[in-house]
Amino acid sequence: MPIGYFSLILHAHLPFVRHPEYPEFLEEDWLYEAITEVYLPLIFIFQHLHEVGASPRIAMNVSPPLCEMLADPLLQERYTKHLENLLELAQKEQLRTRKEAKQFTEAAKMYVENLSMSLHLWNDRYGRNLVNAFRELQDEGVLEIITCCATHGFLPLISTEESRRAQVQVAVTNYKKHFGRQPRGIWLPECAYEPGVEHLLKAAGIEYFIVDTHAILYGDPRPRFGVHAPVSCDNGVAVFARDVETSRQVWSDVVGYPGHPLYREFYRDIGWDAPIEFVGPHLHADGTRRHLGLKYHRITGKGVPLHAKLPYRPKLARAKAAENAGHFIQERIAQAHKLRKTFEGRPPLVVAPYDAELYGHWWFEGPQFLDFFFRQLHFDQDEIAPATPGDFLDSGLPIQVQQPAGSSWGENGYYMVWLNDKNAWMYPYQHDAERKMTEIANRFADQNPRFKAQGSGSTSNLEAGTLDFELQVRITNQLARELLLAQSSDWAFQIHKGTTVEYAARRFRSHIHRFDLLHEMLNKSYAFKLSESGTTEAVTLTPGELTLLKEIESRDTIFPEIDQRVYGS
């Protein structure tokens, strides 16, 4: 019988970045880097842990935009080229370092091995679609995959109930499409909670959600077991909160494991270090230097300038990851003893959520750490057992009823990162679009009562109307996509953080602009025009409008299954 439970929760999310209008696009690298450095290594490790009988249990959010990108044929094709290009570079590097830079040979060899394995997994094992891999791991009992809001919309800053509901409902529908079942849990974007959100979740069949520590600690009444047991909202939806200690140990830049001098340095990259003649063939056509993912240096020490970093030694780093994993387990055992004493014998549950991209992208050895952690957890001790939130709910242990407090896991614990002097300008535009979307959905339903009567099924099951009716459906569904994409919390985050500010602002402007163009199209050129006799007179789109609609549809392809009726009030 374990003395405590440990619940690792990984949040895998990237905003929907797909630019078919360009042959190459810098920001698409976010996905490609994450596939190479995070998703493929984690999938490989989780599968292997399962095969050796280590029985890991992990809750993982694979966000709807990420699922949509992983399943997208264009991005799959582009990633294949990206990976092949990287492997080719690594192979050249292996030869070069043998002759010219032996201190880097071990790392170069590692890259060739890793990338070769990645290419094999990508092409042969998972058919270029990693949703298959995640689904398989869930079916094998390794992962409990949870959903997220449709486009990672920050719920407390969305102005209408209908728009909040759509973020949840569209996500659940998308989850069912990709994973063939109902999700049990949801990762609230940025762990942002506001009292009342639980009602939307309950209506969508969600059993639990994740919040930050103080949501429960500051909840009412006082939580008997702090954050080391879930609480339940009045309506029965369970709430699991982040444990601070495990967050600091892995994530803190000051005291966290990833800062160890032996680990790989993130900011030295061959894309910047190598002569342009050498690296040029592997850059985009414009020749702009960028991170390519082959990095040969270790952190070396705090404050050591980039030019003074020492060579990376994979074997030493791997040994350190094993050591850190052992330390992490010992700390969990000590923590469980301490908590159990405080809780008068009740076994605590430690919930440890992290961005998945920490493991492999920011902390290169992170996947190895998890590999060692779960092996040691299974084979070397029996005091701590892994459990997902769903496992805990299934245990039938009683849960305290509480009203959690409004909160997020962002800086200072509330909504400041997503609403501040730099990004407050976005919200009036977003809120206008939210209001208009529900007006349109309601008007559409009023004017097409048969359509309304069919509930929220797929439009493909509709009794076919006129061409104009089909165009109405297309335009309104595309409006919903543009609104959802504009609501992505990533844009406000990046604008606040100061990274890729222009891209984030442009994306927000683009989706609001496209929403506006489509809204205008619907209002002026086409729809719902009444003739003098009072019957609906179909007015078709101009050729220019039709071209515009097609172009927007071809760019923002997220959620082909979307049904704008979700916005109706």
Which residues 107-166 are close enough to bind another protein by CB under 8 A? 156-157, 159
The nearer residue to another protein, 46 or 515, going by C-beta atoms, is 515
Among 48, 120, 290, 529, binds another protein (CB under 8 A): 290
Among 73, 99, 100, 254, binds another protein (CB under 8 A): 254
Q: Measured from the CB atom, is 235 or 420 closer to another protein?
A: 420
Q: At closest approach, how far in Å is the CB of 16 from another protein? A: 16
Do residues 390 and 143 make contact, with C-beta atoms less than 8 angstroms apart? no
Binding residue for another protein (CB under 8 A) from 97, 163, 247, 477?
247
Residue 427 binding another protein, by CB under 8 A: yes
Residue type, 533: S
Q: What is the DSSP string of 353-377?
A: EEEGGGBTTTBTTHHHHHHHHHHHH
327 binds another protein (CB under 8 A): no
Of 45, 6, 5, 36, residue with least CA distance to 371: 45
Please tell me whether residue 278 binds another protein under the rule CB under 8 A.
no
Q: Does 61 bind another protein (CB under 8 A)?
A: no
The angle at the Cα of 554, spanning 551 to 560, to the nearest 5 degrees, equals 135
Q: Contact between 417 and another protein (CB under 8 A)?
A: yes
Minimum CB–partner distance for residue 131 and another protein (Å): 24
Among 52, 95, 203, 255, binds another protein (CB under 8 A): 255
Query: In this chain, which of 454, 459, 510, 536 binds another protein, going by CB under 8 A?
Result: 510
Neighbours of 143 (CB within 10 A): 26
Nearer to another protein, 26 or 462 (CB): 26
- Kindly report the number of other CB atoms within 10 A of residue 259's CB atom: 14
Among 425, 466, 540, 560, binds another protein (CB under 8 A): 425
Scanning residues 177 to 216, which ones bind another protein (CB under 8 A)?
A: 194-195, 212-214
Rounded-to-integer distance, Cα 363 and Cα 48, Å: 20
Among the listed residues 139, 220, 394, 470, the single contact to another protein using CB under 8 A: 220
The answer to whether residue 2 forms part of the interface with another protein (CB under 8 A) is no
Tell whether residue 432 is a contact of another protein (CB under 8 A).
yes
Q: Does 521 bind another protein (CB under 8 A)?
A: no
Within residues 6-35, the interface with another protein by CB under 8 A covers 21-27
d(CA 332, CA 355): 20
Q: Which amino acid, residue 118?
A: S
Cross-strand bridge partners of residue 193: 407
Residue 332 as a binder of another protein (CB under 8 A): the answer is no
**Strand partners of residue 241:** 211
CA 452/CA 435 separation, integer angstroms: 19
Based on the shown chain and the rule CB under 8 A, indicate whether residue 552 belongs to the binding site for another protein.
yes
Among 187, 251, 491, 559, contact with another protein (rule: CB under 8 A) = 251
Binding of residue 534 to another protein (CB under 8 A): no
CB of 504 to another protein, least distance (A): 9
Q: Give residue for tokens 């409006």.
A: 479
Nearer to another protein, 30 or 378 (CB): 30
Give 416 or 467: the residue with its C-beta nearer to another protein. Answer: 416
Is the CB of 25 or the CB of 278 nearer to another protein?
25
Cβ 96 vs Cβ 427: under 8 Å = no
Among 326, 333, 362, 538, binds another protein (CB under 8 A): 362
Least distance (Å) between residue 153 CB and another protein: 14
Q: Is 259 in the site for another protein (CB under 8 A)?
A: yes
- Residue 555 binds another protein, judged by CB under 8 A: yes
In angstroms, give the least distance from the CB of 328 to another protein: 15
CA distance 352 to 359: 13
Listed ranges 91-99, 113-121, 164-172, 305-313: which one lies at the site for another protein (CB under 8 A): 305-313
- Listing DSSP states for 423-471 in one string gives TTTHHHHHHHHHHHHHHHHHHHHHH-HHHHHTTT--GGGSPP--HHHHH
Shortest spacing between CB 227 and another protein, in angstroms = 6
Q: Count residues binding another protein (CB under 8 A).
A: 112
Q: What is the rounded distance in angstroms from the CA atom of residue 310 to the CA atom of residue 320?
A: 16
Helices (H), 183-243: 197-203, 213-217
* Closer CB to another protein, 247 or 324, in the complex: 247
- Residues in 484-503 at the binding interface with another protein, rule: CB under 8 A: 493, 497, 499-503
In the complex, the smallest distance separating the C-beta of residue 149 from another protein, rounded to whole angstroms, is 18
Strands 238-241 and 231-232: antiparallel
Side-chain-side CA neighbours of residue 165 (13 Å): 17
Lookup: tokens for 43? 């999938």
Contact pick of 208, 240, 363, 374 for another protein (by CB under 8 A): 363
Q: Which residue among 248, 327, 524, 529 contacts another protein (CB under 8 A)?
A: 248
Shortest distance, position 19 Cβ to another protein, whole Å: 9
The least distance separating another protein from the CB of residue 555, rounded to whole angstroms, comes to 8
Please report where in the chains the tokens 């000051």 appear, as a residue: 254
CB 299 within 8 A of CB 264: yes
398 makes contact with another protein (CB under 8 A): yes
224 binds another protein (CB under 8 A): yes
Neighbours of 307 (CB within 10 A): 8
Q: Which residues pair with 58 in a beta bridge?
A: 8, 143
- Under 8 Å CB-to-CB from 238, ≥6 apart: which residues? 207, 208, 209, 230, 231, 232, 389, 393, 399
Beta bridge partners of 297: 311
| Burial category of 283 from C-beta neighbours within 10 Å (exposed 0-12, middle 13-18, buried 19 and up) | middle
Q: Which of 461, 485, 458 lies closest to 564, judged by CA? A: 458
Report how far residue 376's alpha carbon sits from residue 374's, in angstroms, rounded to the nearest whole number: 5
Q: Which is nearer to another protein, 253 or 463 (CB)?
A: 253
Selected binder of another protein within 431, 442, 525, 553 (CB under 8 A): 431
